[in-house]
Amino acid sequence: MITRNLSALAQALAGKEISSVELTQLYLDRIARLNPQLNAFITVDAEKSLAQARAADQRLAAGKGCPLTGIPFAQKDIFCAKGWRTTCGSKMLGNFTSPYDATVIAKFDAAGAVNIGKTNMDEFAMGSSNESSFFGPVKNPWDISRVPGGSSGGSAAAVAALLAPAATGTDTGGSIRQPAALCNLTGLKPTYGVVSRYGMIAFASSLDQAGPMARSAEDCALMLNAMAGFDERDSTSLDRPTEDYCAELRTDVGNKPLAGLKIGLPREFFGEGCTPEVMQLVEAALAEYRKLGAETVDISLPNMKLSVPAYYVIAPAEASSNLSRFDGVRYGYRAPNYSDLNDMYSKSRAQGFGAEVKRRILIGAYVLSHGYYDAYYLQAQRIRRLIANDFVAAFKQCDVIMGPTSPSTAFKLGEKAADPVQMYLSDIYTIAVNLAGLPGMSIPCGLAQGLPAGLQLIGDYFDEARLLNVAHRYQQVTGWHLQHPAELA
Amino acid sequence: MSLTLEQVRRVAHLARIEISDAEAQSTLGHLTGIFALIEEMQAVDTAGITPMAHAQDLAQRLREDRVTETDQRAAFQAVAPETEGGLYLVPQVIE
């Protein structure tokens, strides 16, 4: 049961092979047994999950189920969920029980899905290894001495270890795609504005986007159908016609399903910087794509190398502004002792935030401060435009861009924790996509010394359906996405 | 450019984050490394390029001016560190 995909689980529920309560209990038991080793969840609340499962069973019995009804999903602890502790991986929100639902949570609820628990993450989604969580690092189920990636590392580890059929993630600079790559999952960051950010605790508002993390493109498509859509509560939500992201996946297109598809290979993704073992697997995946009828063309994204520097101005600038709301007044942590109001702010924030969050707030405050704004913040925004323009030019020559998701497979816990710059460079292939606001995916493309590697797919604006289809056709003829790690003892 | 300890203390003050001398010192080391990375931007000529603040060039939506939310003060204040009579309590700022 636990290795079935979402449609098979829906079928099992519809056919009364299993009830939602039984399925939920199955996952709760696995979480109880295996989470102590992985630390993938911050909060599990069996009573709440089972109550949702009972409601789902009634709904199914009444014949009112939809594709996700009764299926448990792990929710990244960045999404406010009413009545659930919602921490964002921070001591600052360690005692915060959300009084309201994020739109993403409300949409899963409306679909009758079960929330199986809130997953661990880098503090305020700032990190690439899940080591900045106040609640401790998450372990990669493929090798528990290694990181699962970040910031959606808990979601990735939970799904990879079969503690949940699928999970949500958020991606500001690669936080869905990189952990998906490191844990052998399929993850999709949609076009900016496709999924509502309401109730998703803000890190860098012009870059943050939520998306699905699952074991196949098919599962991601089903989830995106539930997650996407206009939301008047998010001022950057896009009002577009509803799409069925599964439609293209269902068509039968023979043995050259991708005939005519042009895959752009940016030379900046294929030069130095990527480990040979990951590159070999990426090349093998591209060979598979050629067999499916696609042709590859060389392209260039000349400003790609500037994406990390520009991102580390823009994201901290936005974060320093967003995180100013944590002041110990309306919610969250307040220091126990202080002398006056300013001292209360300063001590609450000093004690409530971890080292990486503080670093980014300080970078942001600095680049926005008088005398530095033009040199840093505006320059970064101009470079952001150059990067976005590179993609516009590239998509005149190709339909989809491919390359590695992450330059290496999962690294060791502690390996990069002391050096922020090394950590930042692990997102070198993913960050440009967020700056441009494009959709991006990572799909499993093989194992190197037993560790998963990801192939990144980047689409033009609103090309989620095409990306999912391109991923799905590969997954129909390969089995990498079906691999899972040896069961932990 | 190179950051100074004084600048680190100043931005920490601006950001309302108390910082000890030892923390300021280690933060200076980390920020110096990060700004070396950021400085790579300065080699690029961006004259004439319009800054891009957002992924989608959209105007802010307007809505009708009407009440859409219900009163949830009690629920929202239930998670506050300290409240009284519907007000948030903070240390006295005016004598």
pLDDT more than 90, % of chain A: 96
Q: Which two tokens stand for residue B45?
A: 């000529």
Q: Which residue of B has its CA nearest to A435?
A: B55
What does the pLDDT average to over A19-23?
98
Q: What is the pLDDT of residues A111-169, one digit of tens each?
A: 999 999 999 999 999 999 999 999 999 999 999 999 999 999 999 999 999 999 999 99
pLDDT at position A174 is: 98
Domain ranges for chain B, please list them: 5-42
pLDDT above 70 for A75: yes
Looking at residue A271, what is its pLDDT?
A: 85
In the predicted structure, residue A338 carries a pLDDT above the cut 70? yes
Is the Cβ of B12 closer than 8 Å to some Cβ of chain A? yes
- In this prediction, residue A485 has a pLDDT band, given cuts at 50, 70 and 90, of very high
Q: What are phi and psi of A54, to 5 degrees?
A: -60, -45
pLDDT at A320: 98
The residue among A48 and A369 whose pLDDT is bigger is A48
Tell me the catalytic residues of A: 76, 151, 175
- Is A350 close to B17, i.e. CB distance below 8 A? yes
Number of domains in chain A: 1
**Chain B residues 54-73 within an 8 A CB cutoff of chain A:** 54-56, 58, 60-61, 63, 72
Chain B residues with CB under 8 Å of A379 CB are 41-42, 44, 46
Q: Model-level pTM? A: 0.97
pLDDT at A85: 98
pLDDT of A384 strictly over 70: yes
pLDDT tops 80 at residue B1? no
A203: pLDDT strictly greater than 90:
yes
Assess whether pLDDT exceeds 80 at residue A489: no
Task: Find the length of chain B.
Answer: 95
Tokens matching residue B77: 């204040």
* Residue pLDDT, tens place only, B58-70: 788 888 999 988 9
CB distance from B15 to chain A under 8 Å? yes
The pLDDT mean for chain A works out to 97
Q: Which domain holds residue A93?
A: 1-489
ipTM: 0.96
Contacts of A421 in chain B (CB under 8 A): 33-34, 36-37
Judge: A346–B17 Cβ closer than 8 Å, yes or no: yes
Give A237-272 pLDDT, tens digit per residue.
999 999 999 999 998 888 899 999 999 999 999 988
Chain B: nearest CA to A223, how far in angstroms? Answer: 23
Contacts of A435 in chain B (CB under 8 A): 55
Contact B52 A330 (CB under 8 A): no
Average confidence (pLDDT) over A325-336: 97
% of chain A with per-residue pLDDT over 70? 100
Q: Is B2's Cβ below 8 Å from some Cβ in A?
A: no
Residue A46: band (very low, low, confident or very high) from pLDDT cuts 50, 70, 90: very high
Express each pLDDT in B10-23 by its tens digit. Answer: 999 999 999 999 99
